[in-house]
Amino acid sequence: MTLTDPLDLLDIDSLLSDEERQIRETVARFVTDHVRPHVADWFEEGTFPRELAPELGKLGVLGMHLEGYGCAGTSAVAYGLACLELEAGDSGLRSFVSVQGSLAMFSIWRYGSEEQKQEWLPRMAAGEAIGCFGLTEPDFGSDPANMRTRAVRDGDDWILNGSKMWITNGSIADVATVWARTEEGVRGFLVPRDTPGFTSRTIKKKLSLRASITGELAFDDVRLPASAQLPGAQGLGAPLSCLSEARFGIVFGSAGAALDCVRTAVDYAKARVQFGKPIAAFQLTQEKLADMAVGLNTSALLALHLGRLKDAGTIKPHQISVGKLNNVRTALAIARECRTILGGSGITLEYSPLRHANNLESVLTYEGTSEIHTLVIGQALTGHAAFK
């Protein structure tokens, strides 16, 4: 017997409902038809096609786990499986969907006024408007409590000053959710692109996430009406809750990157002949493939377990940290090992593993570095916060 897919090793599909399998297959077909033929060029050119956003809206993956306002209202597991297939295409694609749905849209859906929800969410779900999430700053990534961006009251208005860095979708977004310090603590604001004093630039010369737009945001005496504030967001816990939503998608997404790498390596090993037989017939190659398949299936089972906990409403932030830390670390190791099976061919964009490896270097860092997630888990185990 020969397995048709690496995830068949533990028959993981048998743990999914018919609807979950259908959603996964639908997203997989979209990636095959609309992404794989072009993603190497996007990566090489350092671009993400904005025209793909409405197509993702038609697919139903933008804010798909949210209820109402044009959103699909699917389960967490279904959303996770979509992320798995999107990142099997490229981390940049999944990043776009995660930032749009789990950060920008979720922040409005969870903390916004009804007027803000009606104004933005239907258009964002359709891919007609693009959002970004401004929390990270040039000098404050893992320590957002000390952010320098500030908003001060001026009559009924707010005056916003500061900057944000490493913002996915930043220079193409129609609206930014921006977090700033105020006299009452950290607050969130919706800043439309055409607001005077708000500028952005695209960060170039990246070696990772090249098929994704990363930007820097700047705010120079940006005047915002009182209606721009997210009324339900009070304190640092609000943006951190949004990050938990995005991190959940990464747990599944990184497993998707690993899956694509293992599929590529298995296919290549079967076809590549050396010393008179396919390299798949050599013991050292089989050891690599077996170890990677075990790691991949373990990651997929962990993601599915966390998805079931999220759907049950019982998931804890430290559990998401376990998922992100393990699955991204595992996926990065798999991508690098798969490249060795491909030999010299593995350094070209004709094959995906090294592209995935480059991308995963960023995924390992963003939405909480591996060090931060390690300390989150350590705090859960010991009761001691070792962040400082």
- List residues bridging with 181 in a β-sheet: 150, 186
Spell out the alpha helix ranges (H) of 46-75.
52-59
Asked whether the beta carbons of 230 and 189 are under 8 A apart, the reply is yes
CA 335 – CA 90 distance, rounded (Å): 13
Whether 177 contacts 109, CB under 8 Å: no
Kindly state the helix (H) or strand (E) to which residue 252 belongs, with its residue range. helix 237-271
- Do the Cβ atoms of 224 and 158 come closer than 8 Å? yes
Return phi, psi of residue 196, to 5°. Answer: -55, 135
Q: Distance (Å, rounded) from C-alpha 45 to C-alpha 62?
A: 25
Bridge partners of 216? 201
Return all residues near 225 (Cβ < 8 A) that are at least 6 apart: 156, 157, 158
Please count the other Cβ atoms lying within 10 Å of the Cβ belonging to residue 168.
25
Residue given tokens 């350092």 in the structure block: 46
Which member of 20, 245, 337, 367 is catalytic?
367
Closest CA to 235 of 184, 292, 200: 184
Residue type at 189?
Answer: F
Task: Return the H-helix or E-strand segment holding 222.
Answer: strand 214-224
Are 81 and 16 in contact by the 8 Å Cβ rule? The answer is yes
* 367 included as an active-site residue: yes
How, if at all, do strands 185-192 and 175-182 pair?
antiparallel
The H or E element containing residue 26 is helix 18-30
Containing 202, the helix (H) or strand (E) segment is strand 198-202
Indicate the SS3 state at residue 97. helix
Q: What is the chain's length?
A: 388
Catalytic center residues: 367
